[in-house]
Structure 1
Amino acid sequence: MTKPKIYTMSFAKVYPLYIAKAERKGRTKAEVDTIICWLTGHSPEELQERVEKQIDIENFFAEAPELHPSRSLIKGVICGVRVEDIEEETMKNIRYLDKLVDELAKGKAMEKILRCSS
């Protein structure tokens, strides 16, 4: 079985698309970075380094310092697929990030996006 094409795509290629989606809806690059760092455990500096090195998406998630334990609280449909039903871990993490950026673009409060308890 071959890997999905997105796994070999450079994270540097999709990163500006996440930012553009957020900015079109009045959100910021800093908010996108906060979401990515929350999900992956990368520091802002590590995130920038990975973008500059053009690391592929599969390795971006494989080398994440610590995937956030609350990521399993991310629910819903993205790209026509329910994220909680995705079994393959790398694809699930990619879709988690897609869903978080989508929530940001839809105006959801950052505390809710990052699954902060009240």
Structure 2
Amino acid sequence: MNDTSHHDERIAKMTFASVYPHYLTKVEKKGRTKDELHQVIMWLTGYDEKKLQELIEKKVPFEQFFKSADLNLNAQLITGVICGYRVEDIQNPLTQQVRYLDKLVDELAKGRKMEKILRVS
């Protein structure tokens, strides 16, 4: 991957709360629910509903959002292309985690079964 330090810095400072409505709109347009979106986010981060709402209200940047997350051990099974980059090849850990989330939201919006999205065998 090319040097993306500027891009990585932008992602770190971007707030989860600013992106969340776009995630919600994307999945709802495709017939999925807010509960399903939250299930995906909570699977990846280890947050519960209360903590997720708190982080949205506090408008925490992605850097803080993922710093306090307990990333699912199966997150490394998330592969594929998102925003033109192979998720598994992204070098910056924070950028990779944000792209993991983007990829999960895409899979949800595309109608993929929840068991596959959550990497359940």
Partner residue, 2:23: 18
Deviation by residue 1:34-83 (Cα, 9 ceiling, x = unmatched): 1110000001110000000111111100111x100000000100000000
Query: For the residues of structure 1 that align with 2:38 and 2:21, how far apart are their CA atoms?
Result: 11
Deviation by residue 1:14-38 (Cα, 9 ceiling, x = unmatched): 0111010000100011111111100
State which of 101, 107, 110 in structure 2 corresponds to 1:103.
Answer: 107
Partner residue, 1:68: 72
Partner residue, 2:116: 112
Identity between Structure 1 and Structure 2 (%): 54
Partner residue, 1:86: 90
Which residue identity is paired with 2:82?
Answer: I
TM-score normalised by length of structure 1: 0.95
Query: For the residues of structure 1 that align with 2:83 and 2:60, how far apart are their CA atoms?
Result: 23
| Residue correspondences, number | 116
Matched, 1:28 2:33: yes
TM-score normalised by length of structure 2: 0.92
CA-based RMSD of the aligned residues comes to: 1.0
Deviation by residue 1:75-94 (Cα, 9 ceiling, x = unmatched): 10000000000111100000
Task: Give the ranges of 4+ consecutive aligned residues of structure 1 lying more than 2 Å apart after TM superposition.
Answer: 1-4
Query: For the residues of structure 1 that align with 2:67 and 2:14, how far apart are their CA atoms?
Result: 14
